[in-house]
Amino acid sequence: MAEATPQTIYLKDYTPFGYQVDEVHLTFHLSPKATRVVSRIEFTPKPDAVERSFFLHGEQLKLIAAKIDGQPVSPDVTAQGLTCDVPSTPFVWESEVEISPVTNTALEGLYMSNGMYCTQCEAEGFRKITYYPDRPDVMSTFTVRIEGDEKVLLSNGNPTDSGEGWAEWHDPWPKPAYLFALVAGDLVNHPDSFTTASGQDVELNIWVRPGDEGKCAFGMEALKKSMTWDEQVYGLEYDLDIFNIVAVDDFNMGAMENKGLNIFNSSCVLASPETSTDANFERIEAIIAHEYFHNWTGNRITCRDWFQLCLKEGLTVYRDSQFTSDMRSASVKRISDVIDLRGRQFAEDNGPLAHQVRPESFQEINNFYTATIYEKGAEVIGMLKRLVGDEAYAKAVALYFERHDGQACTIEDWLQVFEDSTGRDLSQFSKWYSQAGTPRIKVTDDYSDGTYTLTLEQSTPPTPGQPDKDPRVIPVAVGLLGQNGDEVRGTEVLELTEAKQSFSFDGLASKPVPSILREFSAPIIMERESTNAERAFLLAHDSDSFNRWEAGNTLAKEARVAMVLDAAAPDADYLDALTKLVRDDSLDPAFRALVLSPPSQSDLAQTLFERGHTPDPQAIYDAAETFAQTLAEALTDSLPRLYADTTVQGAYSSDAESAGKRDLNARILSLLTRLDGGEAAARQYDAADNMTQQNAALACLLKAENGEAQSQAFYDQWQGDRLVMDKWFGLQVACSAPKKAASAAANLTEHALFDLKNPNRFRAVMGALAMNQAGFHYEGGAGYQLLADNLIALDALNPQTTARMCSAFQTWKRYDSTRQELIRAQLERISATDNLSRDTNEMVSRILNG
Ligand code: BES
Ligand code: ZN
């Protein structure tokens, strides 16, 4: 049981803080076990305040002294903060507190990682540093003095002065406390510079531990590209003299956008060809862009309260996906984003954790950094842009920056700029923010007398707390193909606003083949009777590359569904189409790789569940195996040549084209391994001069249970590199056969290099177990038990990472009663743990009761 009855926070209870913060001065006397934080904060009571009580958040702080206008005071202190009698005129609050960074394993507030001090304040970590109104609508300028023996002392804003053992920083831009940051350590930098469009020179640095200097160049290039892109596409410039990025090994999330001082999980910034895969490079480029883009969408304009989280995160994810589309391949990016959305967001939206893009209540805000807020939040922006058009979007966004710069805003503010600049009524559109759940659209069609009619019917299943839903406005992009494969109607956006609505197309000589939901124009599930012949036709002819892939993906899914339900043989026509596609050199290798990548186990489980079946993870796994084996055999004669043709020669380059080719090459190698038992993979392993190929070869060998030598060699080569060792830990579990996955994971938690306190290492093992669906759900429930054991152990150290990982259980109601009972027992065991954190308690009870 959690300690006290958890408190629920409601959006409807929002009241502004009664005091304005005019200036914040902080002095840090750093010491691992006893850091002293001295604050001097100027407050002005607001004349029109509704709430007069002076409450400052503060947790796990030892209060040494407090003063108002220089006079000692004795505030009422609780575990959540303090209240104090204060003057009704402007006053200066001063406090001194003591904190212990070295024992802070939650990695929230000020903590230590490998001897370096760093902070993580979003969402509510600043209250673990000093007493403060720790809420995003309280914005102020910060001046910071750091005293410590470390060589590098960093904070937000611009450096103003420094000397032996101290440094001072001033951030001229008012900001909420969640954007505060401090770093102190014996770090080295990779320096560069940037001149903004208006001619301001900016010093750029990536700060890392000595030894990692060689892994910064790619991140630095990504940063400069992001700065240029935001100027060119959104007209937004950087606004300080310096921009610092710091790499930290122990970090709960990927990265954090603190003003002028972004802090990154080292896995999301350090890159080299020898140690990073293509996927790592792509992610690093995207996340550097994401955090940089927050400088405007999040920092200059921030959130009024945490219910508005999607205001900054949905928009910034949307912006970083636009950036990646421009830097790489737009169609590949769209397809990968949809795969990710279906895998993570649809699972959330169709289970006990379903919540609105803008939630209306929470217990622990850290539990709401979800795929719904982020990825669905970004989809909502994409729909808005599609509905109003590109030009109107640009105009509205410009108005947003002009009207709200320096403010803490709401979703209403965001929608208002679109209403004001387009004249459009967005009240129905706003339901995308207030209604949870994935809409289903049932499509039927009719053709007579030259007119083709599409009838769309929308409905959204109940979600926790929301049994009934209203129709939403849904942009459905449609094109029509003639019998010969030519497009007879280009893409048109149908605006579905009613529960049921028909759209007609006249003047058609024959019944067309519809290509519906092009570019995945809305995050919905489409239900439409179709045939494999029609899907194969679209796969061959659709001009919309997303829908081409989608046709292939549906064929792939249907083939496996038939194998699972009817013990059918792999569909011959689909196999035939696939073997042709793989060999078609005129197609983009990255696209061929995507067509070859099987639908995820979780996606198949969800599909079966939707259709009223109880998914059997083992049967889904077996079908995937049989399918891949049959495909490999059908390609026997071509695989060696295909493998040779797609092998990228010469020096490694992380560009999208080479990466796409290597992705295709890896998928061919995995098919080839089914035929040669690992000969080609072993050769590739030996010859590899980059991590993408080394990692792919090792994965194939482990999967074939023929990689012990290479696994040992990999370990010997990389045991000194934390990030590469995370791959080694993860691969053992990811590549395990279902019945061995839990024991593989259990053994790894006993390994000398396993470290519960390092979130990357914990996720490498436990995340891989949860992702290995057939392994996690293997009969008997050893996977469930192992995960629960580890969650219980981690909760005492790091609630945030524990709570996030609980989502591995969110799909439990899909499965048979035996599995449900096994999972329920583990959830109840977690729930009964003494002193369970508020984070984990909320997640487990929502999963159990949702
Ligand atoms: N603001 C978040 C980081 C964050 C999340 C801090 C949760 C505190 C609690 C940051 O901008 C972010 O969204 N990071 C993502 C990566 C991004 C590319 C979507 C992350 O860390 O995973
Ligand atoms: Zn973000």
Atom of ligand 1 nearest to the CA of 255: 21
The single-letter code of the amino acid at 640 is P
> Is the pLDDT score of 5 beyond 80?
no
> Is the pLDDT score of 395 beyond 60?
yes
Whole-angstrom CA distances from 410 to 137, 329, 356 are: 10, 33, 15
> Is the pLDDT score of 736 beyond 50?
yes
Can you give the pLDDT at residue 810? 98
Query: Which residues have CB atoms below 5 A from the ion given as ligand 2?
Result: 313, 316
pLDDT digits (tens, 9 = 90+) for 773-791: 999 999 999 999 999 999 9
> Is the pLDDT score of 1 beyond 50?
no
What does the alpha-carbon distance between residue 620 and residue 600 come to, in Å, rounded to a whole number? 10
C-alpha 759 to ligand 1 mean position (Å):
14
Q: Position of tokens 């030519």?
A: 486
> Is the pLDDT score of 799 beyond 50?
yes
Name which residue sits closest to atom 3 of ligand 1, judged by CA: 256
DSSP character at residue 136: T
DSSP character at residue 341: I
Contact predicate 377/278, CB 8 Å: no
Atom of ligand 1 nearest to the CA of 374: 19
Task: Work out the angle between the directed axes of helices 679-687 and 691-703 (0-180°, nearest 10).
Answer: 150
C-alpha 289 to ligand 2 mean position (Å):
10
C-alpha 57 to ligand 1 mean position (Å):
23
Give Dmax over CA atoms of the chain in angstroms: 89
Among all ligands shown, which has an atom nearest to the Cα of 306? Answer: 1
Q: Position of tokens 């622990």?
A: 364
Task: Please state, for a pLDDT cut of 70, what percent of the chain lies above it.
Answer: 100
> Is the pLDDT score of 573 beyond 90?
no
Q: Are strands 242-248 and 188-195 parallel, antiparallel or unpaired?
A: unpaired
42 assigned to active site? no
What does the alpha-carbon distance between residue 163 and residue 319 come to, in Å, rounded to a whole number? 40
Measured in whole angstroms, how far is the alpha carbon of residue 593 from the centre of its chain? 23
CB-neighbour burial class of residue 774 (10 A; exposed 0-12, middle 13-18, buried 19+)? buried
Residues 6+ apart with CB under 8 A from 555: 532, 535, 536, 539, 571, 574, 577
C-alpha 371 to ligand 2 mean position (Å):
12
pLDDT digits (tens, 9 = 90+) for 268-299: 999 999 999 999 999 999 999 999 999 999 99
Measured in whole angstroms, how far is the alpha carbon of residue 199 from the centre of its chain? 34
Closest CA to 752 of 730, 724, 735, 729: 729
> Is the pLDDT score of 185 beyond 80?
yes
Name which residue sits closest to atom 8 of ligand 1, judged by CA: 122
Contact predicate 429/384, CB 8 Å: yes
Strand-pair partners of 21: 43
Ligand 1, residues at Cβ distance < 6 Å: 122-123, 253-257, 286-287, 290-291, 294, 313, 317, 366, 369, 374
Closest CA to 571 of 540, 605, 536: 536
C-alpha 312 to ligand 2 mean position (Å):
7
Can you give the pLDDT at residue 434? 98
What does the alpha-carbon distance between residue 517 and residue 355 come to, in Å, rounded to a whole number? 24
What tokens were used for 182? Answer: 């401090």
C-alpha 767 to ligand 2 mean position (Å):
21
Q: Position of tokens 């060999």?
A: 583
C-alpha 320 to ligand 1 mean position (Å):
12
C-alpha 108 to ligand 2 mean position (Å):
17
Closest CA to 389 of 351, 418, 417, 432: 418
What is the torsional sign of CA 680, 681, 684, 686? Answer: negative
Among all ligands shown, which has an atom nearest to the Cα of 255? Answer: 1
> Is the pLDDT score of 4 beyond 70?
no
CB-neighbour burial class of residue 79 (10 A; exposed 0-12, middle 13-18, buried 19+)? exposed
Name which residue sits closest to atom 21 of ligand 1, judged by CA: 254
Mean pLDDT of 244-271: 99
What does the alpha-carbon distance between residue 249 and residue 289 come to, in Å, rounded to a whole number? 20
- 129 — phi, psi (to 5°)? -110, -45
The strand ranges marked E within 328-467 are 361-362, 408-409, 440-448, 451-459
What does the alpha-carbon distance between residue 117 and residue 6 come to, in Å, rounded to a whole number? 31
Name which residue sits closest to atom 17 of ligand 1, judged by CA: 287
pLDDT digits (tens, 9 = 90+) for 489-545: 999 999 999 999 999 999 999 999 999 999 999 999 999 999 999 999 999 999 999
Atom of ligand 1 nearest to the CA of 366: 9
Task: Please state, for a pLDDT cut of 90, what percent of the chain lies above it.
Answer: 99
Q: Within a 10 A sphere around the Cβ of 107, how many other Cβ atoms?
A: 24
C-alpha 259 to ligand 2 mean position (Å):
13
> Is the pLDDT score of 574 beyond 70?
yes
Contact predicate 618/738, CB 8 Å: yes
Can you give the pLDDT at residue 454? 98
Q: Position of tokens 């954190």?
A: 837
What tokens were used for 768? Answer: 């891989």
Q: Are strands 261-265 and 242-248 parallel, antiparallel or unpaired?
A: parallel
The strand ranges marked E within 199-259 are 201-208, 242-248, 255-256
Q: In what order do the strands lie in the sheet with 19-29?
A: 71-72, 62-68, 91-99, 35-45, 19-29, 140-147, 166-175, 158-163
What does the radius of gyration of the chain's CA atoms come to, in whole angstroms? 27
Please, what is the average pLDDT of the chain?
A: 97
Q: From the candidates 257, 282, 291, 558, which is the catalytic residue?
A: 291
Atom of ligand 1 nearest to the CA of 294: 11
Atom of ligand 1 nearest to the CA of 291: 11
Residues 6+ apart with CB under 8 A from 646: 589, 661, 662, 664, 665, 668
> Is the pLDDT score of 313 beyond 70?
yes
Name which residue sits closest to atom 19 of ligand 1, judged by CA: 317
Pocket test for ligand 1, best of 291, 374, 839 (most atoms within 8 A of CB): 291
Name which residue sits closest to atom 6 of ligand 1, judged by CA: 122
What does the alpha-carbon distance between residue 299 and residue 258 come to, in Å, rounded to a whole number? 8
Atom of ligand 1 nearest to the CA of 290: 18
Contact predicate 140/175, CB 8 Å: yes
List, in order of start, the domains of the chain with CATH numbers: 1-186 (2.60.40.1730), 301-434 (1.10.390.10), 440-529 (2.60.40.1840), 720-849 (1.25.50.10)
Residues 6+ apart with CB under 8 A from 783: 741, 742, 745, 769, 775, 776, 777
CB-neighbour burial class of residue 191 (10 A; exposed 0-12, middle 13-18, buried 19+)? exposed
Atom of ligand 1 nearest to the CA of 286: 18
What does the alpha-carbon distance between residue 432 and residue 357 come to, in Å, rounded to a whole number? 7
Mean pLDDT of 827-847: 98
Contact predicate 70/116, CB 8 Å: no
Contact predicate 487/538, CB 8 Å: no
Q: Position of tokens 């129905």?
A: 428
C-alpha 757 to ligand 2 mean position (Å):
24
Atom of ligand 1 nearest to the CA of 313: 13
CB-neighbour burial class of residue 686 (10 A; exposed 0-12, middle 13-18, buried 19+)? exposed
Name which residue sits closest to atom 4 of ligand 1, judged by CA: 256
Name which residue sits closest to atom 13 of ligand 1, judged by CA: 313
pLDDT digits (tens, 9 = 90+) for 397-433: 999 999 999 999 999 999 999 999 999 999 999 999 9
Length of the chain: 850
C-alpha 314 to ligand 2 mean position (Å):
8
Name which residue sits closest to atom 16 of ligand 1, judged by CA: 254
Contact predicate 594/332, CB 8 Å: yes
pLDDT digits (tens, 9 = 90+) for 56-90: 999 999 999 999 999 999 999 999 999 999 999 99
DSSP character at residue 386: H
Among all ligands shown, which has an atom nearest to the Cα of 368? Answer: 1
> Is the pLDDT score of 51 beyond 90?
no
pLDDT digits (tens, 9 = 90+) for 98-154: 999 999 999 999 999 999 999 999 999 999 999 999 999 999 999 999 999 999 999
Atom of ligand 1 nearest to the CA of 369: 7
Among all ligands shown, which has an atom nearest to the Cα of 374? Answer: 1
Contact predicate 500/538, CB 8 Å: no
Q: Within a 10 A sphere around the Cβ of 227, how many other Cβ atoms?
A: 24
Pocket test for ligand 1, best of 365, 369, 375 (most atoms within 8 A of CB): 369
C-alpha 177 to ligand 2 mean position (Å):
16
Name which residue sits closest to atom 20 of ligand 1, judged by CA: 254
Task: Work out the angle between the directed axes of helices 377-388 and 309-327 (0-180°, nearest 10).
Answer: 70
Among all ligands shown, which has an atom nearest to the Cα of 178? Answer: 1
Count Cα neighbours of 156 within 13 Å in the Cβ-side half-sphere: 28
Question: What is the DSSP track for 734-771?
Answer: HTS-HHHHHHHHHHHHTSTT--TT-HHHHIIIIIHHHH
Can you give the pLDDT at residue 11? 98
Q: Residue 803: pLDDT band by 50, 70, 90 thresholds?
A: very high
Name which residue sits closest to atom 18 of ligand 1, judged by CA: 287
Contact predicate 169/159, CB 8 Å: yes
CB-neighbour burial class of residue 739 (10 A; exposed 0-12, middle 13-18, buried 19+)? middle
Closest CA to 27 of 149, 213, 166: 166
Among all ligands shown, which has an atom nearest to the Cα of 375? Answer: 1
Name which residue sits closest to atom 2 of ligand 1, judged by CA: 256
Pocket test for ligand 1, best of 253, 287, 320, 321 (most atoms within 8 A of CB): 253
Whole-angstrom CA distances from 833 to 68, 618, 798, 824 are: 42, 31, 15, 14
Among all ligands shown, which has an atom nearest to the Cα of 803? Answer: 1
Q: Are strands 19-29 and 140-147 parallel, antiparallel or unpaired?
A: parallel
